[in-house]
Amino acid sequence: MPIVLAEEVKRRGHELVMLPPPTSPLRESSSDAPAHAAWLQVDALQDVQDSLEALQADAPWDWLVVDHYGIDNRWESRMRACASRILVIDDLADRQHDCDVLLDQNFYEQADGRYAARVPERCRKLLGPSYALLRPEFADLRSAVSVREGEVRRLLVFFGGVDENNVTVCAVEAIARLPRGALEVDVVIGAGHPARREIEKRCLQLGMNCHVQTQEMARLMARADLAIGAGGTATWERCSLGLPTLALCLAENQRQLLVDGSRAGLLHAPSIWPHDVESLARQLLVLIESPGLRQLMSRCAMKHVDGQGVARVVRNMALPQITVRLATAADSQNLFNWRNHEAIRAVSRTSEPISPETHASWFSKVLSSPDRCLLIGHSGPSEVGVVRFDLQATVAEVSIYLVPGQEGRGLGAALLVAAEDWLSATHPEVESLVAEVRGDNGPSHRLFSSANYKLDITRYQKWRRSRPR
């Protein structure tokens, strides 16, 4: 579990237990073993038993957080014996998961499609760098920075704490070929960098600042005008502070991220060999001499990443569990009162008050119609919302509202997920969901967008797994 996520969970007063290191010896992987099973370094099935034993005494746990490439749905499904809900952190999208929430903080043009067939339909997907798990100092410094404009006065070089291929040296030499003028250069390396002495010596010769194992990365990014570095988490750290970046691909799992991020204007990722010093120098010079491009990248980066990702993830984990049931005749008066409430009428297609006679006629027809499903959502004993599905062959139109007074608690997303689960179980013939939303109903637009509905001109649509191909 990422440290920043663990710290935020504890800061909010929740109990957190880390599973002990596995001890069972690794057996030879079978042909149907999870992708990267060897990375777990133990037998997966035995690890499940060990993990269940470690957690069983205090089960059920509200959440189990899984952050390991060597684990897939077979491990996760067995762990449901002690966990109410499961959050999986992944970015490879190359194996099946049994989870309630999936987090992939990287940017991809087709982010949702990468996991379409790899997670349960009920799974809530937190995709993109708005969920990037960054340290608090990046959010803290956000208000102190602005979109980068004008000339480049300070350049930051950072390729990760290890940089085993020593790309840092190549970047330093590329900068040495530029007309430096008053340009200040900060070079950051880890204490275990394989060429630490060489880099420190070269920086001293060239008048560059070499920072070893610094704890001031956010501050260095905030005061820089341009950076050169690799993909990975540092990408979103730079974006959160609006730092334009020349990004190099140092690992295969960074390639698509950098291609898509470059297309979206988040960074500049030229297709060059990282050790090609001359090409690096040319690309840096292009950026230095292109203030408009740097300004565009800076603005775009800050729009996509604001440093609040950890808080968003924890808020999603804190969403209450909602259950739904079919409405009965006993719900008539409550539904009448809720529907006529000023806040509900303000976002309804028909904003006029409804008479008791009109409501009674409508409600009777809804209860007797096989093509209309009216659901009441509960959080514990409390009624919190209403969802209606109007069925037409393989399409269901959904409408949703919260009971007045229940707004602002994140219940809408949980209610929609619970209602969709109910629909999937009772009407498997439904292939797509549609929702009509008034243009001025901002909360509903955000709700359907975050639930993986796509805006199609005037309405939202969401295809389900049964869609024919």
What lies within 8 Å, CB to CB, of 185 at 6+ separation is 154, 155, 156, 157, 175, 203, 206, 207, 208, 209
CA distance linking residue 294 with residue 150, whole number of Å: 9
CA distance linking residue 453 with residue 263, whole number of Å: 23
Nearest-CA neighbor of 172 among 148, 206, 138, 140? Answer: 206
CA distance linking residue 429 with residue 390, whole number of Å: 13
C-alpha distance from residue 235 to each of 170, 267, 380, 447 (Å): 19, 9, 42, 28
CA distance linking residue 182 with residue 184, whole number of Å: 6
CA distance linking residue 410 with residue 446, whole number of Å: 11
Helix axes 411-426, 442-450, angle to 10 degrees: 50
What lies within 8 Å, CB to CB, of 465 at 6+ separation is 117, 121
CA distance linking residue 65 with residue 86, whole number of Å: 6
CA distance linking residue 154 with residue 468, whole number of Å: 54
CA distance linking residue 149 with residue 466, whole number of Å: 49
* Residue 237 counted as an annotated binding residue: yes
101-104, strands of its sheet edge to edge: 61-66, 83-89, 101-104, 124-127
For residues 374 and 326, the answer to whether their CB atoms sit within 8 Å is yes
* Residue 135 counted as an annotated binding residue: yes
Half-sphere exposure (Cβ direction) of 54: Cα atoms closer than 13 Å: 15
Largest CA distance in the chain: 87
CB atoms within 10 A of CB 458: 8
User: What is the phi/psi pair of residue 345, to 5°?
Assistant: -65, -30
H helix and E strand count, the chain: 18, 16
What lies within 8 Å, CB to CB, of 449 at 6+ separation is 455, 460
Binding site feature residues for substrate: 135, 237
Binding site feature residues: 135, 237
